[in-house]
Amino acid sequence: MSKTIIEVRSLKKDFYVGEITVHALKGIDLEIKEGEFVAIMGTSGSGKSTMLNILGCLDKPTSGTYFLDGTSMGELSKNELAALRNNKLGFVFQSYNLLSRTSALENVELPLFYNSTVKSKERRERAEAALEAVGLSDRMHHMPNQLSGGQQQRVAIARSLVNDPVVILADEATGNLDTRTSYEIMALLQDLNQKGKTIVFVTHEADIAKFMTRQVGFRDGHIIREELVTNRNNAIELLKALPVEEPV
Amino acid sequence: MLGIIIGVASVIVMLAIGQGSKKSIQDQMSGMGTNLIFAMPGTEQRGGVRVGNSDAQSMTLSDVIAIEKDCPAISDVSPEVRSSGQAVVGNKNWPTSIYGVNNKYFNIRKYTIGSGRSFSENEIQTYAKVCLIGQTVVENLFGKTDPIGQTVRFKNIPLLVVGILGEKGENGMGQDQDDLIMAPYTTVQKRILAITHIQSIAASAASETQNEAAIEQISESLRKSHKIKAGEDDDFRVRSQSEMVQTFSSISNIMTILLGAISGISLLVGGIGIMNIMYVSVTERTREIGLRLSVGGRGNDILMQFLIESILLSVFGGIIGISLGIGATQITASIMSWPVVITTFSVVMAFLVCSAIGIFFGWYPARKAASLNPIDALRYE
């Protein structure tokens, strides 16, 4: 019986825009176990981004409960939430969000800077290990503007791994990448998932969602479907099937 | 940062000029002797420094004797009479002044005897026709010849030169202190002015700290001598040199403060510049801030990050400004020949003010950065 990493019960989120109240999430129940690779799907306005923000402890629910790795998110202060983000979560964004005047290595070190228990030597070692895990050992000291889109996203993924989180949250992580590069990133994520990493991935692209283990569909603030993925795509095989190009 | 640099540099320069003028005045003043106290006849006049009323005949030698006896805070006292006129040697003449004094006067007014001697008690008693002359008189009447043993005629009275006064230069009010002749007061009273009273009294306090006591004691003594009853106005004025020094000091203090304030305003402008830069920086780096917050940075971490940046900016600008200010001060001093003094105090002050500016003007932008919502920040274009 694997561990429940994420447990959401009757979660509601309202936004107040002037006089109008927007009910972004209207009562969500969701459970994600360790080792899953979950796709959160839906069109704009479906509430999937809001869901991700709450899962990422960047926003608080209006009502309902959210347990992350056993900790209830509801009563935590801003600083406690920050600590939670630092220890338990890794983020991968659509537009990479790397610091532009810092090297890849230093970018990956960033979350550990905010962790006072990690000294600089250990920080460096962990960052190097993370970059190795994503296949970028030879680009450690490059600046982001010297890296391709795919490489930058890999650095972002390495950054999300460096503090050994319980779950990686990805928001349209392949949105800015071409098909080949997207598949390469998905290959990397599948590999990490294979090694035991839990990943929650927000996407609106069906073919990307087919790389994952379970799909959760949102619409108008509700979950309208949940299904395990059958005939899951293998990114490495699909890559081989693509027309041959120069690797990035 | 340019604002800070200019602000700091101008503060340093202004303070240096202000301090310099204050010090130069003080130096000149103390060259005149800060223990110096004058008493002259005539009623109290506000604002006057040495407006003489030498026609009044209320002061006499017995006043001087009384002061010498009654005032422990006074170390030396001398009567003073003076007259202006032509000094003649051979076919040269030179308009100058003659001072009739006793031989304590040299000490009181800090004149040295360059060569020769001062006059003796006997010479004072016998209205001897002797004198000492100042350097300017020497130059204009004797040139390269040794004046000692020669005769100078002042208002037709022949005076034997027995000594030459050491050079003193100009005083704080631009008067040439070497342009005079000194003779026994008895001589000047009887032979030149034909008076029996004295025109003023010069005295020195035993030490600077005793100035106040000295003034008190002289006033008391003169009141007694002149038989002035309590409640009646004095028929004399007592002035101390240190009062003048203090007045000039406080004037130049005010000037320094004023200059400092004006340049402080430019420093303020520099600080506002820093605040603007930091606001822009925060706005430009909104996404970065969102990222830092999302990976676990706390509000405080962000605050400290931007605050430190702001402090570094202003301190760095301050260092450049201080160097520039010191350089500009030297240049000003050599071009304008103004006296300048760069004190450690002003440099340290400028430095501290810069750091304070960095903290103060960087605070609000840093605060703003720290309280950004990570979600909105991450989405910022």
Residue B298 with chain A: CB contacts under 8 Å:
78-79, 82-83, 114
Give me the pLDDT at residue B211, please: 80
Mean pLDDT (whole number) for B88-110: 89
**Count of helices and strands (H, E) across chain B:** 12, 10
CB contact B298 to A (< 8 Å):
yes
CB contact under 8 A, A91 and B293: no
Nearest chain B residue to A50, by CA: B375
Q: Does B69 touch chain A (CB under 8 A)?
A: no
- Cβ pair A82:B296 closer than 8 A: yes
B172 pLDDT higher than 70: no
Q: Among A86, A87, A97, select the one facing B291 at the smallest CB separation.
A: A97
Question: Any chain A CB within 8 A of the CB of B284?
Answer: no
Contact A159 B295 (CB under 8 A): yes
Please, where are the H alpha helices in chain A?
48-55, 78-88, 104-113, 120-133, 149-161, 179-194, 206-209, 235-241
Interface membership of B220 toward A (CB under 8 Å): no
Q: What is the pLDDT of residue B51?
A: 46
Q: Does A71 touch chain B (CB under 8 A)?
A: no
Residues of chain B with Cβ-Cβ distance to A110 below 8 Å are: 291-292, 295
Amino acid B56: pLDDT: 63
* pLDDT of the residue at B29: 65
What is the least distance, in Å, from the CA of A242 to any CA of chain B? 33
Amino acid present at A149: G
Contact B224/A at CB under 8 A? no
Q: Check residues B140 and B34 and name the one with the higher pLDDT.
A: B140
Strand partners for A65 = A9
* Chain B residues 152-171 within an 8 A CB cutoff of chain A: none
Q: What confidence tens digit (pLDDT) does each residue in A166-219 have?
A: 999 999 898 889 888 899 999 999 999 998 899 999 998 888 999 999 999 999
Q: How far apart are CA B215 and CA B212, in angstroms?
A: 5
pLDDT tens column, B117-128: 888 889 888 988
Rounded Cα–Cα distance for residues B185 and B253 (Å): 40
Q: Decide if A58 and B294 are in contact by the 8 Å CB cutoff.
A: yes
**Interatomic CA distance for residues A216 and A210, integer angstroms:** 12
Q: Residue A245's pLDDT is what?
A: 61
pTM for this prediction:
0.64
pLDDT at site B54: 47
pLDDT bucket at A77, cuts 50 / 70 / 90: confident
Q: What is the mean pLDDT of residues A126-142?
A: 90
Per-residue pLDDT band for B270 (boundaries 50, 70, 90) equals confident
The minimum CA-CA distance between B284 and chain A, rounded to whole Å, is 12
Is pLDDT at B173 greater than 50 in this prediction?
yes
A111 reaches B (C-beta below 8 A): yes
**For residue B50, what pLDDT is reported?**
45
Q: What six digits make up the tokens of B257?
A: 């403060």
Using CB atoms, which residue from A53, A78, A110 is nearest to B295?
A110
Minimal-distance CA residue of chain B relative to A111: B295
Q: Which residues of A121-157 are buried (b: 16+ CB within 10 A; e: fewer)?
A: eebbebbbebbebbebeebbebbbeebebbbbbbbbb
| A97 to chain B: closest CA residue | B291
- Which carries the bigger pLDDT value, residue B264 or residue B180? B180
Contacts of B230 (CB under 8 A, 6+ apart): none
Picking from A59, A79, A91, the nearest residue to B295 by CB comes out as A91
Q: Is residue A26 exposed (0-12), middle (13-18) or buried (19+ Cβ within 10 Å)?
A: middle
* B195/B206 Cα distance (integer angstroms): 31
Q: Is the pLDDT of residue B44 over 70?
A: no
Q: Are strands B36-41 and B236-240 parallel, antiparallel or unpaired?
A: antiparallel
Contact B83, B97 (CB under 8 A): yes
Structure letter (DSSP) for residue A98? -
What pLDDT, on the 0 to 100 scale, is given for residue B43? 63
Query: E strands along chain A, which residues?
Result: 4-17, 20-33, 37-41, 63-68, 71-72, 89-92, 167-171, 198-203, 214-219, 222-228
- Residue of A89, A95, A114 to mutate when probing chain B, most B C-beta within 10 A: A114
Nearest neighbour of B296 by CB, restricted to A53, A59, A86: A86
List the single residue in B with minimal CA-CA distance to A168.
B295
- Residue B64 binned pLDDT confidence (cut-offs 50, 70, 90): confident
A97 contacts B298? CB cut-off 8 A? no
Q: What average pLDDT does range A29-50 have in this prediction?
A: 89
Q: What is the 3-state secondary structure (H, E, C) of B66-92?
A: HHHHHCCCEEEEEEEEEEEEEEEECCE
Which residues in chain A touch residue B380, judged by CB atoms under 8 angstroms apart? none
User: Euclidean distance between the first and final Cα of chain A, in Å?
Assistant: 40
Instruction: Find the CB nearest B375 among A59, A83, A114.
Output: A59
Shortest CB distance from B294 goes to which of A78, A87, A91? A91
Is the ipTM here above 0.95? no
| A213 touching chain B per CB within 8 A | no
B47 and B68 in contact (C-beta within 8 Å)? no
The answer to whether B295 contacts A78, with C-beta atoms less than 8 Å apart, is no
List the CATH code of the domain at A4-241: 3.40.50.300
Residue whose structure tokens are 């026609």? B55
Name the helix (H) or strand (E) containing B214: helix B211-225
Residue in chain A nearest B291 by alpha carbon: A97
Please, which residues have CB within 8 angstroms of residue B84's CB and are 6 or more apart in sequence? B95, B96, B97, B98
Partner A contacted by B293 (CB < 8 A): yes
> With 90 as the cut, is the pLDDT of residue B216 above it?
no
Q: Which of residues 7-66 of A touch B (CB under 8 A)?
A: 53, 56, 58-59
DSSP 8-state secondary structure symbol assigned to residue B176:
B
Beta strand B36-41 pairing with B180-184? unpaired
Give the residue carrying structure tokens 């106290």: B37
Residue B358 pLDDT more than 50?
yes
- Residue B30: pLDDT band (50, 70, 90) is low
For residue B326, what pLDDT is reported?
A: 85
Query: Who wins on pLDDT, B1 or A52?
Result: A52
DSSP letter, residue B227? T
